[in-house]
Structure 1
Amino acid sequence: MKTRAAILWQLHKPLVIDDVEIPKLKKGQVLVKVLYSGICRAQYNEMIGLKGPDKFLPHLLGHEASGLIVDTGPGITKVKKGDYVCLSWIKGRGLDAFNSQYALNGHMINAGAVTTFSDYTVVSENRVTKIPKSMPADAAAILGCAIVTGCGIMENTVAAQPGTSVAVFGVGGIGLSVILGARRRGCSRIIAVDIDDKKLRFAKRLGATHVLNASHKSTLGQIAKIAPRGFDYAVDASGNKSAMENAFTVIREKGGTCVIAGNLSRDERISLHPFDLIKGKRIIGTWGGETLPDRDIPKYVRAFARGNLPFDRMITHRFDLEDINKAFNVLVNGEAGRIIVKAKHGQ
C-alpha cells in the first residue's frame, strides 16, 4: 500500500510530494488515515536545520493531526480500527514503538514515532488519543501541538490563578493558544506583544486585553504602564533572543515566572542578570506544556464543546497537501494564526 507524503530530501529545500510505500506494522504501531494536519514552526526549523545537521534525511514531517485508525499492529490495546483520534508528538499512554521507514524507488524514507504530512501514516500507539466524533476534524488537527502546548503552559506549567497577569511575546499558534489558555484560567490582564499589527488585532479578538507592537522603541516602558509591579507570568513564543530577554524583564520580583517556549538557533544565547534571580524571578522552559495527552486532550475537547475554549478560531489558513510549500511560505511570512493542511480524506 502506498500513500502520498511530503518528503524532506535536503535542508533549505522545499518538501517534495511523492508516493511512498507504507511499511508493515510492527509491535506498538497503528496505521492512521490522516484527515487534517497542523503546521508548526518546529517543522520549518527542521527544514532549515535550526538545531544543526540532520542525520535522518530523507524523512517525513508533521507532528499534530486528526485521523481515523485503519489498522493496528501487535500489542495494541488503546485504540481499534475505526476510532477517531488526535495525533501528537507528546507521548501518552500506550506502547512506544520504534520509528518507521517508508520506501521510495529503493530509497528508505525515515519517519519518527509520529508524522502527519501524508494521507496515511504509521504512528506509535502512545502518540494517539481517542476523541469523540462530534469534534470537528479541522479543529482537532491543532490539538496535538498548538493547543496542548499553549493551554498547557497556563494550565500545567504555571497553573495560572484567576486574576493574575500574563505577557505573551509572539502571537503565532503557540502564543495564541497561551492567550486562550489564560482566558480559560481567568487571567485579568493578558498582553500580546508582537511586531505585526494584523496578528495583534487577531490576538485581541481571541482574548488579549492589551496589545503592543514591539517594533516601537518604548516597548518595555509601555508594558510597565500596564503592570507597574511586573507580570505574574510571561511566555516567549517568538523564538527571538530580544523577546526572550524582555519576557524575563517584565515579570515581577518575588515569584514572577518567565516560560521559554520558542526556539533559538544552536549558537544563540540569552543574557540575564543573576541578581534578578535572587530577587525571586524565575525562568523555566516547557516540554509541550507539561501535557499528559490522555488527561488533557479530552479536557480541552470538552471545553471546546462547551464554548469555553474556541480554538477553531485560531485557524486562519487552509491548504491541500500538494500545496504544503505554499503553506510554509505563509507561515514564514508571519501571516498566519494556525495553518492546517487537508489530506485526501479531509472534508
Structure 2
Amino acid sequence: MKMNAAVLEKLNEPLAVVADIQIPELARGQVLVRVAYSGVCHSQLMEARGARGEDRFLPHLLGHEGTGVVEAVGEGVTKVKPGDWVVLGWIKGLGLDGGGAQYLHAGRKINAGGVTTFNEHAVVAENRLVHLPEGIPLDVGVLFGCALPTGAGIVTNTIKPVPGSSLAVFGLGGIGLSALMATQLFDCRQVIAIDINPDKLALAKDFGATVTIDARNENVAARLRELTGAGLDYAVEATGLSSTIELAFESVRRGGGLCVFASHPAHGSRISIDPFELICGKRLQGSWGGECKPDEDIPKFAELYRQGRLPLERLITKRYRLADINEALDDLEAQRVGRPLLEISPELNQRYLADRQK
C-alpha cells in the first residue's frame, strides 16, 4: 500500500507533501489506521520550526491527535479490530507499545513515532488508540487525542479546584480553552482568561470565564492583584513561553497556590523564580498530558460532551486539506486560528455515520 503524507525534511523549511510513500508491514503491537481527521498543535509547530533543538530522526512524519478507522492489526493486538473507529493520541493507554515505524519513499527511509496523523494512513502503536465514543462526531473526536485530555485533565485530574476558589488560564489555544471549559465542572468563584487575541477572549466568556484580560493592553500582574488580592488559588499556563510560566507562578498566592503548566517552551529555555516563594508555600508543577488515562478519561469527557457541558466543536476554527498543511502551521503560529483541523480523508465521515446507524 502507498499513501500521501506531510514530511518534515529539514528544520525551518515547509513540510513536503509527498505522494506514493510505501506503508510497512505491521510489527507486533502495531495497527494500521486510515486517518480521517487530524489536529495541528504547537508541538508540531515547534518541531517544524526547530524549536525543539537538534532532530536526529529527519526525515519523519508528524501529528499526534486524530481520528480514523482500523484497517489491519499486527500480532498480539486485542484492543481494536478492523472496522473499529478510533481516536489517535500521543498519551499512552492500555495495549501493546508497538513502537514506531519506518516508511519508504524512492529508496529512502521516512521515520515515524508511535503515532502520526499528517498522513492518509498511519501505523500506530496499540496503546496510542482508544475507541471513539458513541455520539462523538468524527471531526470533534480529534480533540480527544491531545487538546482535551491535556487541558481538561489539568483541571479535573491535577488541580480539582475546591469550591469558591479562583483560577486563571494563561493562553487560550486548544489546551487552554479545554482547561477553561473544564472549570465549569467545578464551583469556582473566579475564572480568569488571559490572552492577546480578542476573538479568543470573546470565546472565553462563552466558555464561562468571569473575567478576561487582554495581555496586549493590560498589565496582567497588576490586574490579577486587583482581582484576587493575595493571589490566585490556581493558575493554568498554556502559552509555551517561559516568561508566562514565571508570570503565572508569580500570580498564585502564598500558602498553597498552585501553578500548573502544560506548555513546552523552546529548546534551551529556562524559567527563573524566587525560591523563597516556594518556601512560602507556592507550588509549581508541570503536566504530562493532564495526568490522563485515555481509556478511563476519554469516555468520561465524551459523556460531558453529550450532556452539552463541553462545547468542543467551537474550538475548531478552520479546516484545511493535507496539501495546505503549511498554511495551517503558519496560521497557528500567527494565532489566527484556535485548533486547526486537517481533513485527511473527510469522505470517511459518511461511512462513519452509516456505521453508527447500524
**Map of 2:304 onto structure 1:** 303
Structure 1 segment 265-304 matched on structure 2, within 5 A: 265-304=266-305
1:107 and 2:108 matched:
yes
Contact (CA 8 Å) 1:89, 1:127: kept in 2 or not? yes
Write the distance in 2 (CA, Å) between the matches of 1:97 and 1:204. Answer: 42
2: distance between equivalents of 1:89 and 1:185? 27
CA–CA separation in structure 2 for the residues paired with 1:204 and 1:168: 12
- Once residues 162 and 152 of structure 1 are traced to their aligned partners in structure 2, the CA distance between those partners, rounded to angstroms, is 18
TM-score, length-normalised on structure 1?
0.97
Q: Supply the distance in 2 between the matched residues of 1:311 and 1:98 (Cα, whole angstroms).
A: 30
Distance in 2 between residues matched to 1:141 and 1:92, nearest whole Å? 16
- Match runs of 1:148-159 below 5 Å: 148-159=149-160
- In structure 2, give the amino acid aligned to 1:7: V
Could you tell me how far apart the structure 1 residues matched to 2:209 and 2:243 are?
21
Deviations 1:289-318 (A, max 9, x none): 011000011111111011111111111111
- Residue 185 of structure 1: how far off its partner (Å): 2.7
Shift of 1:286: 0.4
SS in 1 for 2:147: helix
State the distance in 1 between where 2:312 and 2:5 align. 27
Match of 2:341 in 1: 340
Task: Tell me how far 1:252 sits from its aligned partner.
Answer: 1.2
Alignment of 1:5-16 (within 5 A): 5-16=5-16
Q: Secondary structure at the match of 1:137?
A: coil
Please list, as runs of the form range in 1=range in 2, the aligned pairs for 1:1-347 lying within 5 A after superposition: 1-19=1-19, 20-216=21-217, 218-344=219-345, 345-347=347-349
Q: 1:207 to 1:217 in 2, by over 3 A?
A: closer
Alpha-carbon shift at residue 18 of structure 1 (Å) = 1.4
Quote the Cα distance in structure 1 between the aligned partners of 2:181 and 2:14: 32
Q: Please give the TM-score of this superposition, normalised by the length of structure 2.
A: 0.94
Q: 1:162 to 1:67 in 2, by over 3 A?
A: farther
Distance 1:58 1:5 in 2: 12
The amino acid across from 1:304 in the alignment is Y
After the TM superposition, list the runs of 4 or more consecutive aligned residues in structure 1 that deviate by more than 6 angstroms: none
Aligned residue for 1:92, secondary structure, equals coil
* Greater mean deviation of Cα atoms: 262-271 or 298-307: 262-271
The 1-side partners of 2:16 and 2:206 are apart by 36
**CA separation of 1:320 and 1:151: change in aligned 2, threshold 3 A:** same
- Cα displacement string for residues 135-171 of structure 1 (whole angstroms, at most 9, x for unaligned residues): 1011001111000000000011112233322111111
| d(CA) in 2 for partners of 1:76, 1:320 | 31
User: CA separation in 1, counterparts of 2:228 and 2:348?
Assistant: 45
Contact in 2 for aligned 1:184/1:309 (Cα 8 Å):
no
Please state how far the C-alpha of 1:230 moved relative to its aligned partner.
1.2
| Structure 2 spans left out of the alignment, 5+ residues | 350-358
Identity %: 46
Give the conservation status (yes or no) of the 8 Å contact 1:154–1:185. no
Distance 1:332 1:218 in 2: 24
After the TM superposition, which of the residue ranges 162-171 and 106-115 deviates more from structure 2?
A: 162-171
User: What 5-or-longer segments of structure 1 have no aligned partner?
Assistant: none
Which one is further off, 319-328 or 157-166?
Answer: 157-166
Deviation, 1:133, is: 4.4
- What's the CA shift for 1:346? 4.4
Q: Give the SS at the match of 1:77.
A: coil
CA–CA distance in structure 1, aligned partners of residues 145 and 189 of structure 2: 27
